[in-house]
Chain A
């Protein structure tokens, strides 16, 4: 496990590179979810990175600009800057690994960023979308509902009523809100990947819409439901990925194919 800073001098990104247990020509870039879900998923990402490197992949996990240990304050992170960071991180993992092919794994909003990278110049060996955010507007509504409840529980209801400049403990200005709400993975340029897998705890209509859209681009897309134990399945949607061992096993099995391809 090797922590590092990379990227431009005034816009450095923090990442952790996990070298493979044996020589390999395949790398995996892990894309964290949005900052509101970062802390809850960090441990799971470390476990996933360790597990994939043991399987023989080069792995890089990294923090977007304005998140985690990367440069920038929390109010400067936008979907566009996160997308640019995914491209920077792809270049970095290629430099570190000399890998021929790179696969992307993204969770929630990180899945949206990974998918957008594959419609903006990058072609992935595999694109694994884990509980992906497909429509930004639905995602913002979901986080807003959680934020409203959190403020109620923490006794901030009167203080925050009518305010829309923060979301779940982070700045969320009008520009970031508009850009996030505008995300729609079912429109735009064709996706470039050899294969797409959507992993989720339940199959929903937006997953099918995404599969149909990607298959129209000629990319084989599989929707896979991961069965969770009751104690995980009973949790809120945003918490399930952070708790699931089943998803880790599924991801490792899915990416194993790229080692021999």
Chain B
């Protein structure tokens, strides 16, 4: 095995539980620690065990990860007397994880990975905390744009859509219709930042030298083409600190294993590109000195 996994209890009275995944052999010196936590109400392993596969794969590349449950979900408990609203508590729990990793493992920098609803805490912590040197959003914020509407008719070239429509409407497949409707109900309702706020947040992150990977999928989402994000935040030129990826055939939770493998590979490539340059046999660098500067050109190791 290329990784070791340990129980990692932290937070007030050790109420927060997670699994610390560390490389067994080669590790990247001063690399940031990677953080993953619950998607919606899912346990911390993620949909289809996505975070287990991801964190183990990152350990093989030399990165340490913590996959954990935020208060009240999975195996973590809510501390007695904690009455904060869930979104506020989630942000505090991510900070607790960072603090515990600093205290117990000397990590100074972090990359939170938000997936669907967990993007909210990843984004909030990323924007406000200078220890965050990279942020990854999987299926994060998406707003319909002019480009989205212009491409909308292209959806009707997809044979899958017609097949679904015929099964549900013409053949009266009530189960499929019910499932499609339940999918809509299940979406975790949350407040998105406005496009202006998102633009300002991204500018803050980029100015700080943080690297961003934003992954979107097609299907029934509000995203239709790779560069839609730049149109969303009215940033035509884009930025070399912001990497976008669009998987038109994948769905919101990466139901197909091949899609999960591609995303995991992509995340690994992104992390190696931005944070893998400090791999050394012996470390003479102070903790945290791998912070990526805006003008730096990190060496990409393949």
Could you list which residues of chain A lie within 8 angstroms of chain B, going by C-beta atoms? 1, 3-5, 10, 12, 14, 16, 35, 38-39, 42-43, 46, 67-69, 71, 73-74, 149-160, 166, 169-171
Assuming A10-B1, A155-B158, A156-B255, is B49 touching A67 (CB within 8 A)?
yes
**A35 to B173 alpha-carbon distance, docked (Å):** 27
Contact B45 A73 (CB under 8 A): no
Chain B residues with CB below 8 A from A169, complex form: 47-48, 253, 255-257
A254 to chain B, nearest CB (A): 25
Cα-based distance from A39 to B1 in the complex (angstroms)? 25
Contact present for B176 and A155 (CB under 8 Å): no
Majority secondary structure, A binding face = mixed
Q: Which of B160-168, B265-273, B280-288 contacts A (4 or more CB under 8 A)?
A: B160-168
**24 pairs from A and B in contact (CB 8 Å cutoff):** A1-B75, A3-B9, A5-B6, A5-B7, A10-B1, A14-B19, A38-B45, A39-B43, A68-B49, A149-B173, A149-B175, A152-B163, A152-B176, A153-B164, A155-B160, A155-B164, A157-B163, A157-B164, A158-B160, A158-B163, A169-B47, A169-B253, A169-B257, A170-B49
Report Cα–Cα, A40/B167, bound state, in Å: 27
Q: A5-B5, A46-B75 given. 18 additional CB < 8 A pairs? A: A1-B17, A14-B19, A39-B45, A39-B47, A46-B74, A68-B45, A69-B52, A149-B176, A150-B255, A152-B163, A152-B164, A152-B167, A152-B176, A156-B255, A160-B256, A166-B257, A170-B48, A170-B257
Q: Is the CB of B5 within 8 A of A69?
A: yes
The reply to whether the CB of B219 lies closer than 8 angstroms to some CB of chain A is yes
Q: B75 — which chain A residues lie within 8 A by C-beta?
A: 1, 3, 16, 46
Structural contact, B42 and A39, CB atoms closer than 8 A = yes
Residues B160 and A73 in contact, CB atoms below 8 Å apart: no
Q: Which residues of B contact A39 (CB under 8 A)?
A: 42-43, 45, 47
Would you call B295 an interface residue if the criterion is a C-beta within 8 Å of the partner chain's C-beta atoms?
Answer: no
Q: Are A35 and B49 also in contact (CB < 8 A) when A16-B75, A150-B179, A153-B179 are?
A: yes
A153 — which chain B residues lie within 8 A by C-beta? 164, 176, 179-180, 183
Give the shortest distance, in Å, between A260 (CB) and chain B (any CB). 30
In the assembled complex, B231 has its CB within 8 A of some CB on chain A = no
Chain B residue with the shortest CB-CB distance to A151? B255
Residues 169-197 of B at the A interface (beta carbon under 8 Å)? 173, 175-176, 179-180, 183
With a cutoff of 8 Å between Cβ atoms, the chain A residues found around residue B249 in the complex are 156, 159
- Interface residue count on the B side (C-beta < 8 Å): 40
Return A81 CB to nearest CB of chain B, in Å: 16
Task: Report which of A10, A12, A42, A156 forms a contact with B256, defined as CB distance below 8 A.
Answer: A156
Chain A residues with CB under 8 Å of B82's CB are: none
Give, as a whole number of angstroms, the nearest-CB distance from B16 to chain A.
Answer: 11
Complex CA gap A252/B38 in Å reads 29
| Set of chain B residues within 8 Å of A150, measured between Cβ atoms | 179, 255
The reply to whether B160 and A157 contact each other, CB–CB distance below 8 Å, is: yes
Give the residues from 132 to 181 in chain B that come closer than 8 angstroms, CB to CB, to chain A: 158-161, 163-164, 167, 173, 175-176, 179-180
- Do residues A155 and B255 form an inter-chain contact, with CB atoms below 8 A? no
- Cβ contact within 8 Å between B257 and A171: yes
With a 10 A CB-CB cut-off, give which of B6, B9, B179 has the most chain A CB atoms.
Answer: B179
How far apart are B58's CB and chain A's nearest CB, in angstroms? 15
Return chain A residues, CB-CB under 8 Å to B42.
39
